[in-house]
């Protein structure tokens, strides 16, 4: 389908005094608890393989201590791995020298942090320009760009305020504006919305999705919240204790969880609000159009379930944006999915 | 009678001790005879500047100097009360005949503070950046702060004789540790998440230092500068013992001759200077933290 933007291969991270020797033990099959107890090393990540597609939102989900924040910091090498490789656009990030790494961070990536990490002594405008200042970009150009993004995230009029005078949600908008002003192809978001209260979080998720529709960046989004993951992720990777349990599109993870951990995770999710028609449709083979109902491929089940109950169609025909018929969905399959 | 071993600490014999001390003194004397002039020459520019600054303060018309001082005080503190208080303090100092000595003291404190900032901040930065530098500097700073100042006056005087430069050195040695320590502390206290963000945006070490670490450490550094000024003032009397002119000399004279009033007046003048320096540098320090409190000015 689309190109692979970031390729993470056999990535290991072990924290401790001599990670290299601990690595041997992990490769020989020593598990996390044993490594900590007997060898006094912490297993951060174990054999992570992940291909992140260009222009998509890849969510990495896990509870605290699962290694998800460690993983995202390997992509721009804020953390040095113990073993493995991270390739972005055919270039191994882990082989770059300091200068190349700085250039890579300046031009290709931008990061949004859980606790905002704004510069307290600089105004909203100066914070937003930070990435461009680092690149020594002309002041006037930086100013114009920064103001555009401040406006875009809804903070016009706050340019001269200091971060401390803004609410959490507004501070994170500054964080987002700062990252977007940098205009890298890769947006790294480390639990970017986790510190915000639910309503504001929903707002921010909507802003992100709206922006993504137009910017098409490669987004790596870390979260511990499954609802958030399902809402914004094109694909979701689930981490547990530094190991990747499952990776796939949201519907796959919901409908066929691979491990008990993932099963527990997805148990209470309201499927009707997460699964889209295209996720569960089957191929067309001459379905009867009499008494059929038409749905859009990106419609969630809960958008058309009421109508299905009241109209009692024979089957549902799924259409794409150009109004082509691309699949069908039987009412029986629909009820099976909702019942499970 | 033979002394009991346990009741008397086993010490080196008097001969040996004398030999050690004498050897130490002789070699230091040889060193100062050899290199004294060279070292003195190194400090010549500082001496030149100090003399020029002192003459400038003393020879300019006093109203002009006073107006300059008050302007600096006002722009530093932005407080009319501090400015008016300072005006009265300076007027009293002048009326009581201490204007000239006060100008000498202000000039030496000024030069010492500038020197301390010029040396102290880079050293503090170095300490913050390197664990090894911190391990080396910390004990040296401990010695500088706790060693009685008379003790290091001896070698300084042996090396450079009596005069302004040895006085200056003594004051700087005594006054520089707070600014070094607080620069180090201020930089180390900068939020690691903010630094991580700077890294993530590709800032190089210089950009991090000048755009993030130093600005965020500035309030702490200013507390250090304030301390340094206070300690420099405290050294004025001791420095006067090795020939530094200023308010310390009359105090010294007062001590030796039991002139109570003379000691009191000059002592109060030092106190007045201390309070002015303190208020101005503190409110300046507060003002550069404006991002932490209310709106912008």
3-state secondary structure B167-190: HHHHHHHHHHHHHHHHHHHHHHCC
Interface size between A and B, measured as CB pairs under 8 A: 69
Is residue B248, in this structure, part of any structural domain at all? yes
Check if the beta carbon of residue A120 is closer than 8 Å to that of residue A166: no
Contact (CB, 8 A) for B228 and B116:
yes
- pLDDT tens by residue, A108-117: 999 999 999 9
Contact yes or no for B207 and A121 at CB 8 A: no
Interchain contact A120–B (C-beta under 8 A): yes
CB contact under 8 A, B199 and A105: yes
Q: Does B115 fall in a domain?
A: yes
Most confident of A16-25, A259-268, B45-54, B177-186: B177-186
Work out the pLDDT band at B292, boundaries 50, 70, 90.
Answer: low
Q: Phi/psi class of residue A136: alpha, beta or left (left: φ > 0; alpha: ψ in -120 to 50)?
A: left
Q: Is residue B225 part of a domain?
A: yes
Strands A186-190 and A109-112: parallel
- Read off the pLDDT of each residue in B181-201 and give the average, rounded to a whole number: 95
Within 13 Å and on the Cβ side, how many CA atoms surround B246?
36
% of chain B beyond a pLDDT of 90: 62
Q: How far is A273 from chain B (nearest CA, A)?
A: 35
pLDDT at A230 > cutoff 80: yes
| Closest residue in A to B290 (Cα–Cα) | A121
Asked if B233 reaches chain A (Cβ–Cβ under 8 Å), the answer is: no
Number of domains making up chain B:
1
**CA B292 to CA B297: how far, in whole Å?**
13
Q: pLDDT tens digits, residue range A57-76?
A: 999 998 888 899 999 999 99
Residue A310, CA distances (Å) to A166, A234, A271 in order:
48, 31, 20
- Residues 6 or more apart whose CB falls under 8 angstroms from that of B104 comprise B54, B57, B58, B244, B245, B246, B247
Q: Determine, yes or no, domain membership for B8.
A: no
Q: What pLDDT was estimated at residue B133?
A: 94
Judge whether B219 is closer than 8 Å to chain A, CB to CB: no
Domains located in chain A, CATH noted: 53-271 (3.40.50.300), 277-339 (3.90.1280.20)
Nearest to B201 among A130, A163, A165 (CB): A130
Closest C-alpha to A191, from A49, A68, A108, A11 = A68
User: CATH number for the domain including B136?
Assistant: 1.10.3720.10
- B217 and A CB contact within 8 Å: no
Facing B202 at nearest CB: one of A102, A118, A188: A102
- The verdict on a CB contact (< 8 Å) between A121 and B194 is no
Q: Which residue of A has its CA nearest to B194?
A: A117
With respect to residue B144, please indicate whether it lies within any of the assigned structural domains: yes
DSSP assignment of chain B equals -PPPTTTS-----HHHHHHHHHHHHHHHHHHHHHHHHHHHHHTHHHHHHHHHHHHHHHHS-HHHHHHHHHHHHHHHH--HHHHHHHHHHHHHHHHTT-HHHHHHHHHHHHHHHHHHHHHHHHHHHHHHH-HHHHHHHHHHHHHHHHS-HHHHHHHHHHHH-SSHHHHHHHHHHHHHHHHHHHHHHHHHTS-HHHHHHHHHTT--HHHHIIIIIHHHHHHHHHHHHHHHHHHHHHTHHHHHTTT--STHHHHHHHHHHT-HHHHHHHHHHHHHHHHHHHHHHHHHHHHTTGGGSS---
With respect to residue B101, please indicate whether it lies within any of the assigned structural domains: yes
Top pLDDT among A314 and B101 is at B101
Structure tokens at B3: 């002394």
Query: Are A131 and B296 inside 8 Å of each other by CB?
Result: no
Which chain B residue lies closest to A124 (C-alpha atoms)?
B291
In a domain, B213, yes or no: yes
- CB-CB contact of A212 with A165 (8 Å): no
What residue numbers bound the domain in which B90 lies?
22-292
User: Would residue B57 count as lying in a domain?
Assistant: yes
**B198 neighbourhood in chain A, CB within 8 Å:** 130, 134
Q: State whether residue B295 sits within 8 Å of chain A by CB.
A: yes
Give per-residue pLDDT as tens, B98-120.
Answer: 999 999 999 999 999 999 999 99
Residue range B161-169: average pLDDT? Answer: 86
Both tokens of B214, joined, read: 């130093």
Interchain contact B197–A (C-beta under 8 A): yes
Quick one: pLDDT band at residue B294, thresholds 50, 70, 90?
Answer: very low
- Smallest Cα distance from B199 to chain A, Å: 7
ipTM: 0.85
In this predicted structure, the answer to whether residue A264 has a pLDDT above a threshold of 90 is no
More confident residue, A2 or B5: B5
DSSP state of A276: B
């Amino acid at each position: 389908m689309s190109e692979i933007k970031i390729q993470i291969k056999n990535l290991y991270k072990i924290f401790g005094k001599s990670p290299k020797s601990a690595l041997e033990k992990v490769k020989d099959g020593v598990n996390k608890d044993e490594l900590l107890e007997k060898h006094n090393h912490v297993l951060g990540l174990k054999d992570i393989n992940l291909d992140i597609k260009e222009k998509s939102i890849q969510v990495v989900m896990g509870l605290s201590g699962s290694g998800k924040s460690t993983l995202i910091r390997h992509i721009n090498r804020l953390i040095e791995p113990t073993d493995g490789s991270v390739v972005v656009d055919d270039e191994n990030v882990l082989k770059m020298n300091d200068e190349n790494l700085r250039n890579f961070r300046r031009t290709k990536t931008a990061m949004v942090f859980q606790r905002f990490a704004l510069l307290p002594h600089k105004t909203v405008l100066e914070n937003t320009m930070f990435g461009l200042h680092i690149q020594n970009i002309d002041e006037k150009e930086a100013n114009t760009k920064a103001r555009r993004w401040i406006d875009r995230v809804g903070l016009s009029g706050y340019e001269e305020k200091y971060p401390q005078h803004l609410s959490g949600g507004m501070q994170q908008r500054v964080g987002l504006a700062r990252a977007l002003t940098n205009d890298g192809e890769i947006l790294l978001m480390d639990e970017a919305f986790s510190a915000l209260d639910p309503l504001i979080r929903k707002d921010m998720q909507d802003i992100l999705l709206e922006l993504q529709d137009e910017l098409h960046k490669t987004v790596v989004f870390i979260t511990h919240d499954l609802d958030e993951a399902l809402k914004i992720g094109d694909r979701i990777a689930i981490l547990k204790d530094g190991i990747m349990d499952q990776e796939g599109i949201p519907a796959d993870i919901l409908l066929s969880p691979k491990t008990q951990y993932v099963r527990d995770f997805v148990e209470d999710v309201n499927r009707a609000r997460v699964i889209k028609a295209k996720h569960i449709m089957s191929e067309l083979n001459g379905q009867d159009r009499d008494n059929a109902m038409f749905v859009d491929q990106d419609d969630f089940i809960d958008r058309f379930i009421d109508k299905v109950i009241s109209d009692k169609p024979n089957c549902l025909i799924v259409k794409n944006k150009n109004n082509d018929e691309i699949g069908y969905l039987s009412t029986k399959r629909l009820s099976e999915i909702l019942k499970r | 009678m033979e002394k009991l071993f346990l009741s008397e600490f086993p010490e080196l014999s008097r001969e040996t001790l004398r030999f050690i001390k004498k050897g130490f003194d002789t070699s230091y004397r040889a060193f100062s005879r050899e290199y004294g002039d060279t070292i003195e020459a190194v400090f010549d520019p500082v001496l030149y500047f100090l003399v020029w600054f002192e003459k400038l303060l003393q020879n300019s018309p006093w109203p002009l100097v006073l107006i300059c001082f008050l302007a600096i005080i006002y722009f530093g503190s932005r407080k009319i009360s501090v400015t008016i208080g300072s005006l009265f303090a300076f007027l009293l100092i002048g009326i009581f005949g201490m204007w000239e000595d006060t100008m000498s003291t202000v000039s030496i404190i000024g030069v010492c503070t500038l020197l301390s900032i010029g040396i102290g901040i880079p050293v503090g930065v170095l300490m913050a950046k390197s664990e090894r530098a911190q391990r080396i500097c910390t004990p040296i700073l401990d010695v500088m702060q706790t060693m009685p100042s008379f003790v290091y006056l001896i070698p300084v005087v042996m090396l450079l004789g009596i005069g302004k430069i040895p006085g200056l050195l003594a004051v700087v040695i005594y006054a520089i540790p707070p600014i070094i320590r607080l620069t180090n502390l201020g930089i180390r206290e900068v939020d690691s998440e903010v630094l991580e963000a700077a890294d993530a945006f590709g800032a190089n070490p210089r950009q991090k230092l000048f755009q993030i670490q130093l600005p965020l450490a500035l309030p702490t550094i200013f507390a250090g500068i304030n301390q340094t000024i206070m300690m420099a003032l405290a050294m004025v009397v001791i420095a006067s013992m090795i020939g530094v002119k200023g308010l310390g000399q009359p105090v010294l004279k007062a001590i030796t001759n039991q002139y109570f009033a003379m000691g009191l007046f000059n002592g109060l003048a030092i106190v007045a200077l201390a309070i002015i320096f303190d208020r101005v540098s503190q409110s300046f320090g507060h003002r550069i933290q404006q991002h932490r409190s209310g709106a912008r000015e």
